């Protein structure tokens, strides 16, 4: 299996999945779907490297910004999220918070503290964008062409083994 030739295609597919509006957000009266891209930093940081083990097995290592693990796997409730990245996220998404009682706009800092408190209370739902990419990987004709006979299951195992 030629993983070096497949890696750039996989990177593109995973990046494209971050841009798709397929990730649910909200609760009860305010539900929707959105993408996982605010500034594009996470998408640009995705890199895939081939890892050869001493026993001859090949696997893939998916590398990305540190916070990508929280986007991929979510975050358990119980701890406050850091404020600085939340402020940047608010700016990148051009969001404005409102006071619950008066409806007036609040400062970005107050908004970030509120988001951090919600993360502490409820956590963050996992996006599983790598797993959602697997269907697109299976359907990709370039990858099928590069795989020599029926090695698709080996490729999927290589991806799943290094998340």
- Quick check: helix, strand or coil at residue 68? helix
pLDDT at site 16: 95
Q: Which residues is 25 bridged to in the sheet?
A: 32
Tokens of 158: 């290589």
Tokens of 133: 């990419």
- pLDDT, tens digit (0-9, with 9 covering 90-100), for 31-88: 889 999 999 999 999 999 888 778 877 778 899 999 999 999 999 999 999 999 999 9
Q: Which residue has the tokens 């990709």?
A: 140
Question: Quick one: pLDDT band at residue 1, thresholds 50, 70, 90?
Answer: low
pLDDT at site 55: 81
With a cut of 90, say whether residue 150 has pLDDT above it: no
> Per-residue pLDDT averaged across 134-153, rounded?
80
What's the mean per-residue pLDDT of the chain? 88
Q: Which residue has the tokens 């290589």?
A: 158
Tokens of 15: 């990046």
Is-above-0.85 flag for pTM?
no
């Amino acid at each position: 299996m030629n993983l070096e030739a497949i890696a750039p295609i996989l990177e593109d597919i995973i990046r494209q999945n971050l841009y798709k509006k397929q990730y649910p957000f909200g609760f009860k009266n305010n539900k929707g779907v959105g993408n996982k891209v605010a500034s594009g930093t996470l998408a640009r940081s995705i890199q895939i490297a081939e890892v050869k083990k001493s026993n001859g097995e090949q696997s893939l290592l998916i590398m990305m910004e540190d916070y990508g693990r929280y986007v991929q796997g979510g975050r358990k409730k119980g701890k406050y999220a850091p404020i600085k990245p939340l402020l940047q996220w608010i700016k990148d998404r051009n969001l404005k918070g409102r006071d619950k009682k008066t409806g007036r706009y609040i400062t970005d800092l107050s908004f970030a503290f509120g988001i951090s408190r919600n993360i502490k209370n409820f956590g963050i739902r996992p996006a599983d964008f790598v797993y959602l990419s697997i269907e697109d990987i299976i359907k990709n004709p370039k990858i099928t062409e590069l795989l020599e006979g029926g090695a698709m299951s080996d490729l999927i195992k290589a991806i799943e083994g290094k998340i």
